[in-house]
Every structure is written in structure tokens, then in C-alpha cells.
């Protein structure tokens, strides 16, 4: 399998990164200069409000919007501020975890353990308290960014987690021999007591020297941060994540990446310097694209990106999936369409659902959809077919960097799942709601609008002071009023002793309506 990373950074306003496997778009990352990106940044903030009802605090961390800090994201060292012993609480949580029944876990969990004996947040903090926080989720809509006091600073092969206090290895490294080797290497490097380090997935197969170099870099960075924390007052930024190019190369590039192509010379030089520093073996994979055609057009990706934002996604061999996104839920419907397989209807439904499961996982990654997701697959009677579709969906989400939880098929043939929501979806970043329909996708017909106008005119014509009523509507609505509803308007003019004037324009939205009145004195008044 040929795996490529394409970085389109020729326009200063936007940077796009695409991951291709055998020429097929599998991942897409987009960042715009006009959109603030705080995820991963670390700040010294100040508590501005406490909400005991939802066990959360609102933190001013200096970006103009207060962040949301829930008690579940408060690191145990803060318990001492309220007179609680974090070791005792940790022991209680361990006992509860051991007493909790085990749940089957097929790559994804079904909810997991959630400690119930966290101390009240109002006992730990007061207004004005300073707190070190990291942004873990961008603000979406009217919601501010989500914060955590569990600080993590990523390197190339290691992650520094000051609150962890021990060393560990990523769960995605499943080889037990490799896990033991990496942990022994990390212990041999004798990291400072009180700091925690986790070997990342990219650390698999790395030497002691490579881990040592990454450890030294993270320690230097942490010492500089500690000095800044002590010297400055909140709110202030302590650490800012790298830009999307360096961040993506650091987190994604491994030995299975065959080539990295960048179309901007300045960004190419920065990426080359970064690779020389942390991944010298991968420098040869980096290429500077100098062709005349735009990079994404050269690889025929622009049409693929346009399809990402379409409601209907065709499947190979026929059939399709339809994706509808709401504020907190995504509904995905699998349609059979023209898909047919030589065999029974059950076998056809099974084959189509297997294709759909893989495409659903791909679309969730590409569109960056999060929250609750309900998948409505074609009904299948056989239990083994239902289980196979569940496993296919779980296997397809393994490569997803966002956390997912997948439930078993419901009696109605639905598979419910959740996907970690880190930032607004790609659609929300590229589009805004249509001012004509406010994002509904439909507008009232001219007949409906005409009836609404007549009702408003009936009400307004009862005012004895009005002599003229002026209605400004869309051209189609005005045409309907002046033709089909002419008799009703004449009756209103007669009974109300008022002149009614209908003005239409193609520049007026279909649902837009302005009703003005002119009184006897000549004063014009807006009636709605």
C-alpha cells in the first residue's frame, strides 16, 4: 500500500493536509488563519465563576471567552486545597473499580468506569483562584472551550504528563515484548520523580538514544514553562501548540509514509528542519512540489473534498449513505438503491452494510463529525451478520485518532456510537447557515407566504390611522398576491379604507417580509 501526505500551504489564509492510501483520500485536516485554534495550548487561568449545580468552574484564560472546567477534569493534586487527601480518594476509586463488573471490550468500551467520589468543586476552588489548564476541546457554537488540569505535552516519541507520576506505554502498542522493552528503556533514563511519561505509538521500535533525546527536549520545555508559571500572573498563555504542519508531521508521520509533498517553499524548509531534528530517517521522503497545477488538483482531490460536504455519499457497487447533521446528533441512513448481489435479500443487505460500515468510518474522519451518531443499516435477520457489521465498523474506526464508543445493534437495526468532538466539523468551518432558510434547507412556497401576508394585512388594516400599507416581498410572492389574491386585497382596501401596495424584488429572500404603514399625518411606521 502506498501512503502519501500532501500539504497544501500555498495560500496564507488556509492550510490543508491530506493523507492518501493508494490514491484514495483517507484523512483531511484543515486549518484557517481566521479561525482561532486553542486545542493543546496551556494557560495559567483564573476562576471567574463556580456552578455547583453542574460541578463546573468557568475559567478566564485570556482569549476573550471563558473556558469550561468540569470536576472530572480536575487533577487530584488540587484536592488538597479543599482539605481532601488525594491518595485516600484514589484508593477508594480503585476499590470501586475492582468491585465493578467487567464489561466485554471489543476495541471500544461501552461507557467505562466513572468515579463517583470526586470532592465538590466548590470545596476545591474559589473565585479568583489561579489554575493551570489545557484546552482539550474547541468551543462549539455558544459553548466555550473545554479545559482540563491534566496537562500533557507531546514530543515525537514521548508525552510528558506532570500529574501522572509514573512511566507507561501507549495501549496501541500491543506487542507485550515491545511494551516491556520500551518501559525498561524509559526507566533506565531515570526521569525526574513526580513527572510522568508515556511512550507514544510512534515510539515503537525506537532506540534508547532516540527516547533519551525526546526526554531531554520535553524536560527543557517543562522547566521553561515552570519558570514562566512562577513569574507571571493569570491569565496568560504558557505553552502554544505547533502549527498544523509541524503538529501533523509529528503525530502522523511514521515509517509507513512513503512521501510527504509540500507546495510552499517556506513551509517545506520548516518541515525539513523539523524532520532533521526529530526524524532524520524520514528527510528523504520530503519533496517540494513546484508544478504549475495546484497540488490538490494534480492529485484530483478537489472533487473529493467537494463530495465530503454533500449529503449523499455513493457506495461502490450501488447503494448510498445519507448523512444528516444536527446540533448534537448525526443520523446516517444506509440506502440499498441499485445494489444487488447474487443470492438472497439477506446476503445483499449484509454485503451492502459491510461496505457502508467502512465508508461511514471514513466519512466520520473526513468530515470530523462528533457527538452522538446513529447508524441505520439495512435490516438483517441473522445474528452473525449483525455481529460482523459491528466488528467491521469497529475495525474501520481503529485508525481514527478521535476516541469512539460503539454499542451493539439495537432491536431496530440501529448501531449507536459516539465520537470525540474536539473541534467544529469541517462543514461548520467551511459553511455558514443560509440567510434565506437559516440552515433548514427549505423555504416557504409563494402560496404560503402570500397567505401569511394577507393575514398580516387583515390585522394592520383595522388601524383607523393608517391610509397606506406597503408590502415588500420576493418577486414570486408579489406576483402571486397581485394575481391569485387580488380580490382579497381589494376587499381589504374597501373595508379598511386603506390603500395596499405590493412591491416585489428578486433581491428579497423568499421568506423575507417587510410591512410598512403611512398614517394620515404622513408619518411612516414599521408594523413588523
In a shared domain, residues 512 and 488: yes
Tell me, what's the pLDDT at 462? Answer: 86
Same domain, 86 and 140: yes
Whether 220 and 125 map to the same domain: the answer is no
- The number of CA neighbours under 13 Å toward the Cβ of 398 is 11
Other C-beta atoms closer than 10 Å to the C-beta of 387 total 13
Using CA atoms, how far apart are residues 314 and 316, in angstroms rounded to an integer? 7
232: in domain = yes
Instruction: Let me know: does 98 contact 135? Beta carbons within 8 Å.
Output: no
Q: Which residues on adjacent β-strands are paired with residue 68?
A: 58, 146
Domain boundary among 378, 398, 430: 430
Same-domain check for residues 22 and 60: no
pLDDT tens-place values along the chain, 528 residues long: 788 999 998 888 889 999 999 889 998 988 887 777 888 899 999 999 999 998 999 999 988 889 999 998 998 888 888 888 877 877 777 776 666 654 444 433 333 333 456 888 999 999 999 999 999 888 876 778 999 999 999 888 899 998 888 889 988 888 899 999 999 998 888 888 888 999 988 888 888 888 898 899 899 999 999 999 998 888 999 998 888 888 888 888 877 788 999 998 899 999 999 888 777 888 889 999 998 889 999 998 988 888 888 889 999 888 899 999 887 799 999 998 777 777 788 888 899 999 999 999 999 998 888 889 999 999 988 899 999 999 999 999 988 888 899 999 998 889 999 998 766 667 777 777 788 887 778 889 999 999 999 999 998 888 888 889 999 999 999 999 999 999 999 999 998 889 999 999 888 888 888 888 887 766 777 766
Residue holding cell 510527504?
Answer: 260
437 lies in some domain: no
| DSSP per-residue codes, 357-407 | HHHHHHHHHHHT--EEEEEEPPP---HHHHHHHHHHHHHHTTT-SS-EEEP
What residues have CB less than 8 Å from 175, skipping those under 6 apart? 204
Whole-angstrom Cα distance, residue 380 to residue 382?
6
In a domain, 436, yes or no: no
Cβ atoms of 260 and 286 within 8 Å: the answer is yes
**Residue 98 sits in the same domain as residue 199:** no
| Residue 495 to residue 487: CA distance in whole angstroms | 12
CATH number, position 119: 2.40.50.140
Give yes or no for a contact between 260 and 287, defined as CB atoms under 8 angstroms apart: yes
CA distances from 59 to 27, 152, 302, 424 (A): 33, 19, 40, 21
What's phi and psi for 112, nearest 5 deg? Answer: 75, 175
Distance CA 367, CA 345 (A): 31
Residue 441 resides in a domain: no
d(CA 380, CA 384) in angstroms, rounded, equals 10
Rg for the chain, CA atoms, rounded:
30
The answer to whether residue 438 is domain-embedded is no
Is there a single domain that holds both residue 110 and residue 169?
Answer: no
Q: Both 321 and 342 in a single domain?
A: yes
Residue partners of 104: CB distance under 8 A and separation at least 6: 110
Domain hosting residue 248, numbered range:
3-36+243-302
Residues 6+ away with beta carbon under 8 Å from 506: 474, 475
The CA-atom distances, in angstroms, between 176 and each of 79, 107, 166, 182, 397 are 35, 17, 19, 10, 23
SS (H, E, C) 428-450: HHHCCCCCCCCCCCCCCCHHHHH
394 occurs within a structural domain: yes
Domain finish residue from 150, 184, 215: 150
Residues 336 and 382 in one domain: yes
Same domain, yes or no, for 426 and 323?
yes
**Exposed e or buried b per residue across 250-284, where buried means at least 16 C-beta atoms within 10 angstroms of its C-beta:** bebbeeebeebbbbbeebbebbeebbeebbeebee
DSSP string, 173-213: ---HHHHHHHHHHHHHT-PPTT-EEEE-GGGTT--HHHHHH
* Same domain membership, residue 52 and residue 132: yes
Residue 406 included in any domain? yes
- Read off the pTM: 0.76
Number of domains in the chain: 5
| Distance from C-alpha of 524 to C-alpha of 401, rounded to nearest angstrom | 60
In this structure, are 197 and 213 located in the same domain? yes
> Among candidates 383, 320, 382, which has minimal Cα distance to 356?
320
DSSP string, 240-304: -PPPHHHHHHHHH--TT--EEEE--HHHHHHHHHHHHHH-GGGGGGEEE---SS-HHHHTT-HHH
| Domain C-terminal end among 274, 302, 330 | 302
How far apart (Å, rounded) are the C-alpha atoms in residues 205 and 207? 7
How does DSSP classify residue 143? P
Please give the grid coordinates belonging to residue 19: 493523507
Q: Which residues pair with 317 in a beta bridge?
A: none
Burial (0-12, 13-18, 19+ Cβ within 10 Å), 395: middle
How many residues are present in the chain?
528
CATH code of the domain in which 216 resides: 3.30.230.10
Can you read off the three cell numbers belonging to residue 399?
485508525
**Within a domain: residue 214?**
yes
Question: What is the distance between the alpha carbons of residues 330 and 302, in angstroms, rounded to a whole number?
Answer: 25
Please check whether residues 49 and 21 belong to one and the same domain: no
Amino acid at each position: 500500500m502506498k501512503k502519501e501526505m500532501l500539504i497544501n500551504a500555498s495560500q496564507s489564509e488556509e492550510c490543508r493536509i491530506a493523507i492518501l492510501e493508494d490514491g484514495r483520500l483517507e484523512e483531511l485536516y484543515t486549518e484557517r488563519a481566521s479561525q482561532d485554534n486553542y486545542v493543546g495550548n496551556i494557560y495559567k487561568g483564573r476562576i471567574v465563576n463556580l456552578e455547583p449545580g453542574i460541578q463546573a468552574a468557568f475559567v478566564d484564560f485570556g482569549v476573550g471567552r471563558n473556558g469550561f472546567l468540569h470536576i472530572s477534569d480536575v487533577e487530584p493534586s488540587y484536592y488538597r486545597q479543599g482539605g481532601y487527601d488525594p491518595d485516600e480518594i484514589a484508593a477508594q476509586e480503585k476499590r470501586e473499580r475492582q468491585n465493578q463488573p467487567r464489561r466485554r471490550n471489543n476495541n471500544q468500551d461501552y461507557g467505562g468506569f466513572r468515579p463517583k467520589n470526586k470532592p465538590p468543586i466548590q470545596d476545591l476552588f474559589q473565585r479568583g483562584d489561579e489554575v493551570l489548564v489545557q484546552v482539550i476541546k474547541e468551543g462549539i457554537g455558544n459553548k466555550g472551550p473545554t479545559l482540563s488540569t491534566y496537562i500533557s505535552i507531546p514530543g515525537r516519541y514521548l508525552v510528558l504528563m506532570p500529574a501522572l507520576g509514573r512511566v507507561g506505554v501507549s495501549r496501541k502498542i500491543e506487542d507485550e515484548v515491545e511494551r516491556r522493552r520500551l518501559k525498561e528503556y524509559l526507566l533506565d533514563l531515570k526521569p525526574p520523580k513526580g513527572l510522568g511519561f508515556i511512550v507514544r505509538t510512534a515510539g515503537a521500535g525506537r532506540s534508547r538514544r532516540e527516547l533519551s533525546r525526546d526526554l531531554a527536549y520535553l524536560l527543557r520545555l517543562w522547566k521553561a514553562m515552570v519558570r514562566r508559571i512562577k513569574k507571571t500572573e493569570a491569565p496568560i498563555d504558557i505553552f502554544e501548540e505547533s502549527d498544523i504542519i509541524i503538529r501533523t508531521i509529528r503525530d502522523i508521520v511514521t515509517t509507513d509514509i512513503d512521501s510527504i509533498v509540500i507546495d510552499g517553499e517556506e513551509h517545506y524548509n520548516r518541515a525539513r528542519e523539523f524532520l532533521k531534528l526529530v526524524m532524520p530517517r524520514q528527510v528523504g521522503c520530503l519533496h517540494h512540489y513546484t508544478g504549475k497545477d495546484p497540488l490538490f488538483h494534480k492529485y484530483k482531490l478537489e472533487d473529493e473534498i467537494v463530495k465530503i460536504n454533500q449529503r449523499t455519499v455513493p457506495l461502490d457497487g450501488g447503494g448510498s449513505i445519507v448523512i444528516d447533521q444536527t446540533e448534537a446528533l448525526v443520523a446516517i441512513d444506509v440506502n440499498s438503491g441499485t445494489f444487488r448481489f447474487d443470492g438472497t435479500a439477506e446476503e445483499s443487505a449484509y454485503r451492502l452494510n459491510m461496505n457502508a460500515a467502512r465508508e461511514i468510518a471514513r466519512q466520520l474522519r473526513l468530515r470530523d463529525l462528533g457527538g452522538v451518531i446513529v447508524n441505520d443499516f439495512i435490516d438483517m435477520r441473522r445474528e452473525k451478520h449483525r455481529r460482523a457489521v459491528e466488528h467491521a465498523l469497529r475495525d474501520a474506526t481503529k485508525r481514527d485518532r478521535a476516541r469512539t464508543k460503539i454499542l451493539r445493534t439495537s432491536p431496530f437495526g440501529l448501531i449507536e456510537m459516539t465520537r470525540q468532538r474536539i473541534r467544529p466539523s469541517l462543514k461548520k468551518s467551511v459553511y455558514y447557515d443560509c440567510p434565506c432558510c437559516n440552515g433548514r434547507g427549505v423555504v416557504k412556497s409563494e402560496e404560503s407566504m402570500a397567505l401569511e401576508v394577507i393575514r398580516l394585512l387583515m390585522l394592520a388594516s383595522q388601524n383607523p390611522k393608517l391610509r397606506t400599507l406597503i408590502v415588500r416581498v420576493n418577486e414570486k410572492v408579489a406576483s402571486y398576491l397581485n394575481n391569485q389574491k387580488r380580490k382579497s386585497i381589494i376587499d381589504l382596501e374597501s373595508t379598511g379604507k386603506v390603500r395596499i401596495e405590493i412591491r416585489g424584488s428578486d433581491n428579497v429572500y423568499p421568506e423575507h417580509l417587510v410591512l410598512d404603514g403611512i398614517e394620515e399625518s404622513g408619518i411612516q411606521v414599521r408594523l413588523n
